[in-house]
Amino acid sequence: MNWIDHKLSIEIAVPREFNFFECLAFLNRSDKELLHQIKDDCLIKMLKIDDSLVLIKLTATRDRIRITFPIKTPSLRIREQIANYIWEWFDLESDLTPFYQWADQSELYRTLTQRYYGLRLIGIPNLFEAITWAIIGQQINLTFAYTIKARFIKQFGENLKFGSDCFWLFPSYERISVLNIADLKQLQFTTRKAEYVINIARMMDKGMLSKTALLNMDDYDQIKAFLLNIKGVGAWTADYVLMRCFHYPQAFPIADIGLHHALAMFVGTNHKMTTEEVLKIALDWQGYQGYITFYLWRSLYN
DNA sequence: ATCCAGGAACTGT
DNA sequence: ACAGTTCATGGA
């Protein structure tokens, strides 16, 4: 991580293959999003670090991301954690050069990487948020998923009001672990999804599931096997989490219906894709599955 | 109205 | 292992 501390602000040096505004375009895909705010080419988000709430404001300079603090400048220790958070959130550790070189060999893939040049695989660093968001999104359309997510956050998340704006945190697993199924059903979770999410919150509360422990496994297949043992987590969800929370380049939610639609448009077929067809097309995506999936998702929001 | 949506568990074979 | 069924509800 390459960051510069200016005390009242911090800056992060970004790779050449980075475009802040492409990332903003993805983050701006739903107007129901409560976890960040975008206006005038800047991104505002609240974080909770070391038990304190911090509001951060991100803007782009020529080759850096500048982070300022609209409410209160945090300590150096927290500023460093914020820099780490941004580094992870925007997947700045990944080197996109080989991916782009690979794409350049094909006219088809080149159009995709040129159209969204500099888009990074935006992460969901919070493990509970990543799993819960995946479960909410199972088998319902994204618009409805965002509606449920917004209700969930407003009901159980912390907020901070600043001027006319209100900033929200995703609910903590501690808070969700003490809920009843009925508490989530009233937000229109299905009974099963309510069970899954509360169960996962309880697992995390008891220390049976943690990002740290999974990071220590340090292996895609091991983490996936562990996630698959959790009720409510199937192959799609496991790969979704491995992609958005753990940044494994080979993570590939193969059954994703959005991916199928995007891919059908991309290759120009007019029938619904089967998983077998997707697998066949994806044979030469080795190591870039996550990024190609993400870029194809991006192509759905225009 | 009807089909479908960023699936997963369960059941029967 | 694999295919078919059930869950469940808003969006378009």
Question: What is the pLDDT at residue A69?
Answer: 98
Question: What is the pLDDT at residue A88?
Answer: 98
For residue A29, CA distances in Å to A42, A144, A199 come to: 15, 14, 29
Question: Which member of A41, A218, A256, A284 is catalytic?
Answer: A256
Q: Calculate the CA dihedral of residues A33, A34, A36, A39 and round it to 10 degrees.
A: 70
Judged by C1' against the alpha carbon of A233, the nearest nucleotide is: B8
Q: What tokens appear for A41 in the block?
A: 């080419």
Is A256 among the catalytic positions? yes
Q: SS3 helix, strand, coil % of chain A, rounded to 5?
A: 50, 15, 35
CA geometry: angle at A194 spanning A34 and A31, to 5°?
20
The residues, ordered by sequence, that sit 6+ positions from A300 with a Cβ below 8 Å of its Cβ are: A258, A261, A262
CA of A21 to C1' of B9 (A): 41
CA of A158 to C1' of C4 (A): 44
CA of A277 to C1' of C4 (A): 21
Judged by C1' against the alpha carbon of A294, the nearest nucleotide is: B6
Judged by C1' against the alpha carbon of A240, the nearest nucleotide is: B6
Query: A301 beta carbon < 7 A from strand C?
Result: no
Question: What is the pLDDT at residue A114?
Answer: 98
Length of chain A: 302
Measured CA to CA, the distance from residue A13 to residue A187 in angstroms comes to 41
Walking along chain A (302 residues) 10 residues at a time, the average pLDDT comes out as: 96 98 97 97 97 97 97 98 98 98 97 98 98 98 98 98 97 98 97 97 98 96 97 98 98 96 93 91 96 97 81
Give yes or no for a contact between A166 and A160, defined as CB atoms under 8 angstroms apart: yes
pTM for the full predicted model? 0.97
Query: Collapsing DSSP states into helix, strand and coil, what is residue A43?
Result: strand
- Residues of A 137-196 whose CB lies less than 7 Å from any atom of strand C: 139-141, 143-144, 147, 185, 188, 190-192
